[in-house]
Structure 1
Amino acid sequence: MSTREAGMAREIITTPQAPRSPLYSQAVKVGAQVFVSGTTGLDVGTGTLPDGIGAQTRQALANCAAILQAGGGGLADVVEVGVLLADPGDFAGMNEEYAQWFPTDPPARYAAKLGAEIPGLLVSIRMTAVLT
């Protein structure tokens, strides 16, 4: 049964405060759930990727937070995070920054190797949130 058949409307979430693409939605909201697409650390103000895994993780999380805010939520609503790393050796550096954003009672999380090779891209982060 599709969301439409179940009487649940899909709402496409967009914000100019985070990277955008015509190929996917920044997030889709269905009922109380917000599904944030894999989001990079691209700084939309400068159009560039910052140097280093810590800086890219910080910007990717800020971008995800902006998308969640546009959908009516925030990081406190996040129940799952997926992290894709271009280099698994960057896991510790990503974790160091990530821990500052979720210092207590963090959401469920997985990490894996990013399959696409995109020059300069070190991390992509996706989230699922449940709004209360």
Structure 2
Amino acid sequence: MTGRRLISGGSEFERIAGYSRAVVEGDWVFVSGTTGFDYAAGTISDDVAEQARQTFRTIAAALAEAGASLSDVVRARYHITDAAFWNELHPVLGEVFGEIRPAATCVVSGLIDPRMKVEIEVTARVGSAPGV
């Protein structure tokens, strides 16, 4: 892959706020902070674990469009709005990244919408999946 390519996740907010769900540059895929909104349904679960699962579905779709997968993720950043959510979040992270084990950071921070409890940002390199 060469050149810069922008990937949209379908959120109107991407256009309004001037960002892309993901940017592909060469073999690298940079996925913006992603929350648990189901953009097709226009909903967000109140459950932290389900928000994380929806977030990973959105991230996986962006990575697939870029020719990558969650297995190619080399860096992840997790934002949670309450440290108490960690106990609900980390099992989901283990489900997704247990074998992939990217470098990762988790911070407690505020998010734009009070319904959001988790936001995840990843960087992937196409072809870097374990065993590739």
> Same fold by TM-score, threshold 0.5 exceeded?
yes
Q: Are positions 1:54 and 2:49 aligned together?
A: yes
When the two structures are aligned, how many residues end up with a matched partner? 124
Deviation, 1:19, is 7.9
CA RMSD, Structure 1 to Structure 2 (Å): 1.7
TM-score for the superposition, normalised by structure 2:
0.86
Segments of structure 2 that go 5 or more residues without pairing to the other structure are: 128-132
Q: Contact conserved, 1:19 with 1:40, CA < 8 A, in 2?
A: no
AA in 1 matched with 2:93: Y
Q: Secondary structure at the match of 1:54?
A: helix
Q: Find 1:74's aligned residue among 64, 69, 72.
A: 69
TM-score for the superposition, normalised by structure 1:
0.86
CA–CA distance in structure 2, aligned partners of residues 116 and 104 of structure 1: 29
Tell me the residue number matched to 1:14. 8
Moved runs in structure 1, 4+ residues, more than 4 A?
A: none
CA–CA distance in structure 2, aligned partners of residues 72 and 91 of structure 1: 31
Q: Which range moves more in the overlay, 18-27 or 86-95?
A: 18-27
Q: Find 2:92's aligned residue among 97, 102, 110.
A: 97
Percent identity over paired residues: 32
Segments of structure 1 that go 5 or more residues without pairing to the other structure are: 1-7
